[in-house]
Amino acid sequence: MKYTKKTSPTTINNNLYHTIGSLLIVMNKVRHMLLGYKTPRTFPVTHIKQTVDYDLKIVDRWINYVRNYSGDTTPVKDKVVLELGVGPDLGTGLILLAMGAKKYFALDVHNLASFAPKEFYKSLFQRLRKDYDYNVDFAEEQLEKFQKGEDSGLCYVVDKNFNISDIPEEVDIIITQVAFEHFDDVENAIKEMSIKIKKGGILFSHIDMNTHTRWIKDKDPLNIYRYNDLFWNMFKFKGSPNRVRIPQYVNYLEGNNWSNIVIEPRTVLEEEYVEKVLPTLSKKFRDLNVSEMKKLSFILMSKKD
């Protein structure tokens, strides 16, 4: 479902937003050095109901897209699923296991999900039993085994080097939810994904190319594209947006034998805003056309040959 980002170009002051944005980039670097990366979402996992609602909504979106793309009415049944950049909880994996997934791997750079409160999982299982006809007992059993350190269908891997190729099994489906834009090396990630996924396997990604810093992301969504690589690389950190655009994703996938690539824009900026901002962006982005830079987030789906 596409919608238009509300941006008023009459309020855009390119010089002002360039200055404010650069200061925020420096401040974010300092904050990350002092506090680390703790808040991948706009709300904490301790907001139990909100987190449960979020995970259910996300999985529902995944299933609908993968079902429509593959033509399989039960696309995760007996499948091995890998989620990259899982974030602060393992709720999505437990929902997929309850739906019939054979195994769920979660790989992340940051060890956030280990600290999800037990109350969250209790609330999630209660909700699944109340509203869904899923095998909740199986998911609950896998969580219990995982927490005891036993062999489980729920597998959480924290690796600062993000070595996807180290996942011990081949997978059928790879999923990312607003995570790909944070990968340090997108080209290598796709190369390693291509090793671990089975022939005919499916990739589903929701990718957000927006400026992520609060306040300015609503005022100037393309702010992160204003700065040259020298400045950007000096102040980036693990978790910073990588500024990879749609044509690069397509090139990396095609170069690793992925096909049937589907791009569906989810957030599209008003052309008037983009036209006003484009001449002030860093040259590598200024050389892209308005129709490309107006795409702010998108769904990416592809199949491994």
Quote the pLDDT of residue 211. Answer: 95
Residue pointed to by tokens 């593959």: 70
Q: Which CATH class is domain 3-304?
A: alpha beta
Quote the pLDDT of residue 74. Answer: 95
Residue pointed to by tokens 């855009």: 12
- Tokens at 42, concatenated: 């706009």
Element (H, E) at 262: strand 258-269
Q: What CA–CA distance (Å, rounded) separates 163 from 195?
A: 11
Q: What CA–CA distance (Å, rounded) separates 228 from 119?
A: 45
Quote the pLDDT of residue 38. Answer: 65
Quote the pLDDT of residue 84. Answer: 97
Quote the pLDDT of residue 12. Answer: 75
pLDDT in tens, 235-252: 998 889 999 999 999 999
For the chain, residues with pLDDT lower than 70 are 1-11, 38-39
- Contact between 217 and 5 (Cβ < 8 Å): no
Q: Other CB atoms closer than 10 Å to residue 24's CB: what's the count?
A: 20
